[in-house]
Amino acid sequence: MRATPLQGTAHAGTSKIRTGTRRWRAATCAMAILAAVAIPLAAQEEGVAAPPQNHWPAATEVGDGAGPVEQALLEAAPTRESWLHYGGNYASWRHSPITELTPESVSNLRLAWIAQTGVAGQLESSPVVYDGVLYLTSSMNRLLAYDAGDGSLLWRYDHENPSDLRICCGPVNRGVGISGDLVVMGTLDARLLAFNRKTGELAWDIEVIPYAKGFSITSAPLIAEGVVVIGIGGGEYGVRGFFDGYDLETGELLWRHHTVPDTGEAGVETWAGESYKTGGAATWATGSYDPATKTLFWTTGNPSPDWSGDTRAGDNLYSDSVLAVDIETGERKWYFQFTPHDVWDYDGNSEVWLVDVQVNEQTIPALVQANRNGYFYVLDRRDGSFLHASQYVHQLNWATLDENGRPVVNPAMKPTEEPTQRVCPGLAGGNNAAYAGAYSPETGLAYVPTIESCMMFRKGVVVFVEGIPFFGGEPIPTDTAEGKSYGHLSAIDVSTGETKWTYRDPVPMLAGVLSTAGGLVVTGNASGHLLGFDAETGEEVWRYQTGSGIRSHPIAYEYEGRTYLAVGSGGGGIVQTTVGTAPSLPEGSVLLVFELAQ
């Protein structure tokens, strides 16, 4: 695909340097600098300040001429040539059909191109690829469209976020959704924006909810049946959680599903007094979708305040749960609550895999999740009934589970004003959807990146002020302070919950995972290494130093007969600092795209 210059620039930047073009580029850069200086000076002469440029659409349509992304293509994803969903497919497997990426071939990967986002802050994004274009988001809502073959920048948008954002754990964005001829991004100031995928022109821009109340959006939208589904952050601000469905073409709100009940609604009795009004249960992770039943599966986070449950006695529905809802109406079909009355910040927002499992010699359509609370759950996704669960973290002492999957809490592990008990897992898990695992249908294994960093929890004063953090206490990262934290990638049989193999890393694992039909598993660590493993045995077969911690989600695609692996490098963030990280490693924000040598 030939790169198209961006509007308002002399040339779209590319990471490849070709002989004979340097003199031309130097002249072009000089003209661009002169133009950049002259425009503000002219504006100053007239007494008018020139507005900063934050949007560079393409001058002409980009891509290879493919048609719109229809529902049938979304259901067939991923293909060899495309990666259309945050989770790879509607079932969130993060599994590529590319067979050429194998434990034997991974050593033949060569760096093809890189893309600097130019934005400070951890890079957690999962790119989307379609029609020869790769779409990437960075922290602070920078959206970039690249030529998937050579990395030429095709168009760019920098969202103008306000200076007083209400965010919890870093200014991250995990990616876009794509459908029709639109790509859709949520923003830190709780807006939802749709762009023409071919030009980058803004199609619509709506406010989901006023951000100053404590809301934000960090997750990638899920788009199905012409409905854009997006969740919100804000559990640390005492918001009332919800997730929405919007019309893809117009941005019109179709439905809103609140995750904390209101007066007179089922479940409100699980909140003491009026504590439901500040109940939290944020929805900051991207869900999964079953096209056969038109059922959307969305997860919810902690009740508010985080570390004191004194004012909110009860189970606190529907926090720390998975909800099954109708994609067309937003009406709930069923729910399952993982951690009733959570006082440890065990968000239920880990990714959910839709798989078929074998139980008592029967094939059951299941929903599987490695929950932040340390348990690996298998549910019947038809009605939410509990099938079984197993411990997947190495250290777990806060509760056991009864025959229905309900926790039997150890009272000694609850937060106190003067804590002495080390609680496992810590507030970050385990696993959570900031770094999504993968599932391989070839092996029947889920590959789960995991943190082992136990903590103490101090209960504090509970005072709610709208738009101000509503913690009710604090974590004490004892393992981090004592150098005991570590991480692992574990391969777990989804039918039995048995761990088949484990790779242990010196620091907690906070990167997403990719599996391939060629039997390769790719992830990264906080020390900056990309890592490749044999999907069956767990043997490490590849290691590549990137210079900054890995927090992003690898993807694979094929373009013009060549196989590519794309993964972001850029560590940092409060969670990484709290649970333990590699010392002295610089932060960064760069996409590395590798090509498999032929």
Phi first, then psi: give them for residue 225, nearest 5 degrees.
55, 30
Is 345 catalytic? The answer is yes
Long-range contacts of 146-149 (CB under 8 A, 24+ apart): 146/115, 147/1, 147/3, 147/14, 147/62, 148/1, 148/557, 148/559, 148/564, 149/1, 149/559, 149/560, 149/562
pLDDT < 50 positions in the chain: 2, 8-46
**Whether 345 contacts 275, CB under 8 Å:** no
Give the distance, in angstroms, between the CA of residue 544 and the centroid of all CA atoms in the same chain.
Answer: 23
CATH 2.140.10.10 fits 76-596, yes or no: yes
Which one, of 104, 16, 101, 111, lies nearest residue 545 by Cα?
111
Rounded to the nearest integer, the mean pLDDT of the chain is 92
Separation of alpha carbons 313 and 273, rounded Å: 9
Q: What pLDDT, on the 0 to 100 scale, is given for residue 343?
A: 98
* Per-residue pLDDT tens digits for 19-54: 333 333 333 333 333 333 333 333 334 455 566 799
What is the structure's pLDDT at 585?
80
Residue 26: its pLDDT value, please?
Answer: 36
CA 453 to chain centre: 21
DSSP 343-393: SS---S-S--EEEEEEETTEEEEEEEEE-TTSEEEEEETTT--EEEEEE-S
Residue among 306, 320, 342, 345 flagged as catalytic: 345
Q: List alpha helices for 301-345, DSSP H.
A: none
Q: Which one, of 266, 386, 286, lies nearest residue 338 by Cα? A: 386
Residue 278 is predicted with a pLDDT of 97
Instruction: Give DSSP secondary structure letters for 543-574.
Output: EEE-SS---S--EEEEETTEEEEEEEE----H
Q: What is the pLDDT, as a whole number, of residue 25?
A: 34
Q: Domain locations in the chain?
A: 1-52, 76-596
Could you tell me which of 131, 247, 259 has the C-alpha nearest to residue 198? 131
Cβ-Cβ contacts under 8 Å for 482 (sequence gap 6 or more): none
So what's the pLDDT on residue 41?
A: 33
CA nearest neighbour of 452 among 428, 436, 482, 418: 428
> What residues contact residue 296 under an 8 Å CB cut-off, 6+ apart?
222, 224, 229, 287, 288, 289, 324, 325, 326, 327
pLDDT of residue 7: 59
Q: Three-state DSSP class for 185?
A: strand
Predicted local distance difference test score (pLDDT) of residue 99: 98
